[in-house]
Structure 1
Amino acid sequence: MQKYLLNGFEVFKVLPISHEILRKKIFEHYNFTNKEEDTLSTMIDTLRLYNKLHSIEALALAAPQVGWEKRLFVCADLELQQRKKAKYIQKVDVYLNPEIIKKSNDLIVSKENCLSIPPNQIACVMRSNKITMKYYNLLGIEMVVEAEGLQACIYQHEIDHLDGINALEKATSIIDSQQR
């Protein structure tokens, strides 16, 4: 994992979609060492700072995107973001060993940015509008969450990263935002 300084904070370099680690399925992981807790903290800083300083609308980041072979992702608390109409990410949640246990047949087109694909590309992907996801929190407690709309699409996108699948592969079309 390659780090660099961004506005005085250590952040990770986000890997491009062509990187081999983003093509691998990542398997379960449960226990964290102190060093891994530091890595997780840097990953959260990476998500927050990429949004703040680069005006990138990324609301989540999967561990493989920064070269960390752990089955986890971090995601902005979307409800808090919307309630506070926050410009920057306020709170980040950690999802360890996430697994979708139920998907609706109701599909929607999700227009997806991704920190690993070129910033001018938006992948249009068909996603389930509602999902139920099981995951573990950092205390090792199994959690179940139901998500709908944008949040459901984000969870599906991040789990795809953990399974070695990227949004460009699943896209029904790709929009070049520079040509809009």
Structure 2
Amino acid sequence: MSGGVEWALHCCVVLTSVAEPVPAVRLAQLHDVSPTYLAKQLQALSRAGLVQAVQGKSGGYVLTRPPETITLLDVVEAVDGPDPAFVCTEIRQRGPLATPAEACTAPCPIAEAMATAESARRAALRSVTIADLAERVESGSGPDALTGVGSWLRADDPHPTGRGTREETGT
């Protein structure tokens, strides 16, 4: 899985802590990641219908569905696509000792094993929701962890130093 999956999952979890849209730049600040990089992950989530971009002065991103209905698999597929992690290229039909295509009537044992692993991976990702992750954050980091994140995300001054970004201040 790409690193973008991790950032997307973190964003989905923290979006459970607020009711109003959160600007991408604010999410990037929270996670100390490039706003441009994070914007790509948020756009992927938006294309998949998991978050919605709200325009305007109070704009930003919000979850489009209850967190109980968004699975880890939804997020992984939004960011990395629906293709399986392993794709058999029929290596057994290549090289000096190649098995003729007509002799390959059953799936390759390696492809079968990898398909079984892929099925288990998908089932595991499908079994955990964003709400489950939020609950785990609360139990592992304290019952006010996401409340604190939500308060920070909603703060009037998105820049703890009060200086703003170069784009916002014109410097």
Output the TM-score relative to the length of structure 2.
0.25
Bigger-Rg structure (1/2): 2
Report which of the two has the higher share of strand. 1
Report which of the two has the higher share of helix. 2
Higher normalized contact order (CA 8 Å, seq sep 6+, divided by chain length)? 2
Output the TM-score relative to the length of structure 1.
0.24
